């Protein structure tokens, strides 16, 4: 095909028949040179396995590179790598091809292709790495028409490379060894540091580097009895590169003025030793709680003296806060005072009346019209009763209980505890619906939101 193309180009350029013949012969000879190399056996194909460390440790991350070289031969596009040590011995990353190279040296074409991946040994021992390669090479095609080369797969085996994998040393192993193997850095962020007793402190721990990070133990601290500590949780991950943990810590008293240091221990296979990185300690500054303490839960009859308190926001006298017992009485509505109770009773009486009179009207008059009217009335009353009951149930869920007034601005929480997370804030004077009571807390609904507020921050609405 190339010879015919060159002849056609020479015709267009006005070459003489003699010159066209000479050029065609030259092109034919150029195409036949690779065939001669194959025939004489001067074309060479070779491969090599490289690994950056032939002595290493379990869970170290190795770089495995397989190179294929062609001397006097064109390499094809396809290559297959088989017979690496099993996946129970090594964990392999995805093979990636590096930049290939091609040059002409001494009139011969030299070409190379390189493929690399990570290999993590999972157990100790001595392992031979000698893969079986199926390499595509371009060989001459004697057919006169078409491409003078075609790709053919050639199987070859490179020289073996041995790797000695040792177990992690027991000597000098820290008690808090995380299980990480590689080279890492450790960063710690504590927020906030201006706290009150019971505040939630978030410790964010970031481990970054290169190596084995599977199922490691997070960085740890020993805060002591002045802190309540929750288990750390993993919030983000980049396999083999980065892990980020978060941990919630709650100071229990003002004696917890210093949050102890966090440490992260790992094994560095390049230095062949364990390393421990420490961050901290962190000083905490305490301020008085922003929420006013309330009386603990009490279900006994407590006599409270009616007092007048001043609202700090409006500077207007307001009623005294509710007691636990008053809060219970506030949400306990008497049936006689609930208009929905009377509506439900009237609907039930109407349905019973229709059921009682309908058959008798039909028996006495023999007219089906009255019976049909009774049936329609029954269905209408039944649907009205169901609708009223549903509306009553929904309204009690959303707006159950009588209204109360916030006498002291504060935070509404997700649970009846000072340690619970904040839901939203209420200003003094806000009208709320009291839904239920638990201990010294009332579950309220206001402005489309719900949560728990101290009973002592509420008063009965007038």
**CATH number of the CATH domain containing 73:** 2.60.40
196 occurs within a structural domain? yes
User: Cα(427)–Cα(408) distance, rounded to whole angstroms?
Assistant: 7
> Residues 51, 152: one domain?
yes
393 occurs within a structural domain? no
**CATH number of the CATH domain containing 329:** 2.30.30.40
**CATH number of the CATH domain containing 264:** 2.60.40.1510
User: Cα(128)–Cα(159) distance, rounded to whole angstroms?
Assistant: 10
User: Residue 381 is encoded by which pair of tokens?
Assistant: 């009353």
Task: Note the Cα 339 to chain centre separation in Å.
Answer: 51
> Residues 159, 226: one domain?
no
Which of 163, 155, 107, 114 is CA-nearest to residue 131?
A: 155
144 occurs within a structural domain? yes
Contact (CB, 8 A) for 149 and 41: no
195 occurs within a structural domain? yes
61 occurs within a structural domain? yes
User: Cα(232)–Cα(321) distance, rounded to whole angstroms?
Assistant: 40
Residues whose CB is less than 8 angstroms from the CB of residue 419 and which lie 6 or more positions away in sequence, other chains included: 198, 200, 250
Question: pLDDT value at position 302?
Answer: 34
- Of 166, 192, 226, the position where a domain reaches its end is 166
Contact (CB, 8 A) for 340 and 313: no
Residues whose CB is less than 8 angstroms from the CB of residue 355 and which lie 6 or more positions away in sequence, other chains included: 378
What's the distance, Cα to Cα, between the start and end of the chain in Å? 102
Which helix H or strand E contains 66, and what residues bound it? strand 62-71
Which residues is 175 bridged to in the sheet? none
Q: 101-105 and 44-51 as β-strands: parallel, antiparallel, unpaired?
A: unpaired
> With a threshold of 0.75, does the pTM exceed it?
no
- Of 147, 166, 185, the position where a domain reaches its end is 166
Rg over CA atoms, the chain = 42
- Of 388, 409, 430, the position where a domain reaches its end is 388
> Residues 50, 149: one domain?
yes
**How does pLDDT run along the chain (462 residues), one tens digit per residue?**
444 444 455 555 555 566 555 555 544 444 444 444 444 445 689 999 999 999 999 999 999 999 999 988 888 888 999 999 999 999 999 999 999 998 888 888 899 999 999 999 999 999 999 999 999 988 876 665 556 678 888 999 999 999 999 999 999 999 999 999 999 999 999 999 999 998 899 999 999 999 999 989 999 999 889 999 999 999 999 988 999 999 999 999 888 899 999 999 999 999 999 999 999 999 999 988 665 444 444 433 333 433 333 333 333 344 455 555 555 555 544 444 456 556 666 767 776 676 666 666 655 655 566 566 666 776 776 777 676 666 655 555 444 456 788 888 888 888 777 767 788 888 888 888 888 887 778 888 888 788 888 888 888 766
Name the 3-class secondary structure at 87: coil
Which of 427, 433, 425 is CA-nearest to residue 460?
A: 433
User: Residue 227 is encoded by which pair of tokens?
Assistant: 């802190």
> Residues 181, 307: one domain?
no
Which of 444, 441, 424 is CA-nearest to residue 432?
A: 444
> Residues 77, 145: one domain?
yes
> Residues 278, 313: one domain?
no
E-assigned strands of 213-254?
Answer: 227-229, 233-238, 242-251
Contact (CB, 8 A) for 245 and 180: no
> Residues 247, 379: one domain?
no
395 occurs within a structural domain? no
* Residue range of the domain that includes 260: 177-286
> Residues 329, 339: one domain?
no
> Residues 328, 384: one domain?
no
396 occurs within a structural domain? no
DSSP 351-396: HHHHHHHHHHHHHHH--HHHHHHHHHHHHHHHHHHHHHHHHHHHHH
User: Cα(454)–Cα(292) distance, rounded to whole angstroms?
Assistant: 9
User: Cα(282)–Cα(219) distance, rounded to whole angstroms?
Assistant: 15
Q: At what angle do helices 339-365 and 368-399 cross, to 10 degrees?
A: 170
Question: pLDDT value at position 279?
Answer: 96
User: Cα(454)–Cα(415) distance, rounded to whole angstroms?
Assistant: 11
User: Cα(309)–Cα(305) distance, rounded to whole angstroms?
Assistant: 12
410 occurs within a structural domain? yes
Question: pLDDT value at position 367?
Answer: 56
> Residues 121, 219: one domain?
no
Domain count, the chain: 5
Residues whose CB is less than 8 angstroms from the CB of residue 3 and which lie 6 or more positions away in sequence, other chains included: 24, 27, 28, 31
Task: Note the Cα 333 to chain centre separation in Å.
Answer: 47
> Residues 198, 103: one domain?
no
> Residues 49, 126: one domain?
yes
Q: 177-191 and 262-268 as β-strands: parallel, antiparallel, unpaired?
A: parallel
């Amino acid at each position: 095909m190339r010879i015919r193309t060159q002849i056609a180009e020479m015709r267009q350029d006005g070459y003489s028949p003699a010159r066209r013949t000479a050029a065609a012969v030259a092109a034919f000879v150029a195409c036949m040179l690779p065939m001669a190399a194959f025939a004489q056996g001067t074309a060479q194909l070779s491969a090599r396995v490289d690994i950056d460390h032939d002595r290493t440790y379990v869970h170290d991350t190795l770089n495995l590179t397989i190179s294929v070289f062609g001397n006097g031969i064109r390499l094809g596009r396809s290559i297959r790598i088989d017979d690496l040590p099993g996946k129970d011995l090594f964990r392999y990353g995805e093979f990636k091809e590096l930049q290939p190279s091609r040059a002409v040296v001494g009139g011969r074409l030299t070409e190379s292709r390189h493929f690399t991946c990570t290999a993590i040994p999972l157990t100790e021992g001595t392992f031979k790495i000698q893969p079986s390669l199926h390499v595509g090479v371009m060989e001459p095609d004697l057919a006169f028409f078409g491409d003078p080369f075609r790709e053919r797969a050639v199987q070859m085996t490179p020289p073996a490379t041995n790797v000695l994998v040792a177990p992690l040393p027991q000597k000098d192993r820290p008690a808090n060894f995380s299980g990480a193997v590689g080279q890492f850095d450790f960063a710690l962020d504590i927020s906030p540091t201006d706290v009150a007793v019971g505040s939630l402190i978030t410790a964010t721990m970031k481990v970054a580097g290169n190596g084995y990070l599977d199922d490691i133990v997070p960085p740890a601290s020993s805060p002591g009895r002045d802190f309540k500590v929750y288990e750390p949780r993993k919030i983000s991950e980049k396999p083999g590169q980065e892990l980020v943990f978060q941990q919630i810590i709650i100071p229990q008293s003002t004696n917890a003025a210093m949050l102890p240091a966090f440490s992260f221990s790992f094994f560095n296979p390049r230095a062949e030793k364990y390393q421990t990185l420490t961050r901290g300690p962190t000083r905490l500054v305490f301020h008085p709680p922003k929420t006013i303490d309330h009386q603990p839960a009490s279900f006994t009859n407590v006599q409270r003296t009616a007092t007048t308190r001043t609202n700090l926001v409006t500077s207007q006298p307001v009623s005294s806060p509710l007691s636990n017992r008053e809060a219970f009485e506030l949400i306990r509505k008497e049936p006689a005072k609930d208009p929905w109770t009377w509506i439900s009773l009237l609907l039930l009486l109407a349905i019973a009346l229709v059921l009682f009179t309908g058959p008798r009207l039909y028996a006495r008059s023999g007219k089906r019209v009255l019976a049909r009217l009774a049936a329609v009335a029954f269905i209408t009353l039944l649907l009205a009763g169901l609708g009223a009951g549903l509306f009553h149930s929904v309204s009690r869920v959303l707006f159950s209980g009588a209204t109360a007034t916030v006498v002291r601005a504060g935070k509404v929480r997700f649970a009846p505890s000072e340690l619970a997370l904040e839901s939203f804030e209420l200003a003094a004077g806000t009208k709320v619906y009291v839904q239920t009571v638990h201990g010294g807390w009332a579950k309220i609904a206001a402005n489309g939101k719900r949560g728990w507020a101290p009973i002592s921050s509420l008063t009965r609405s007038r």
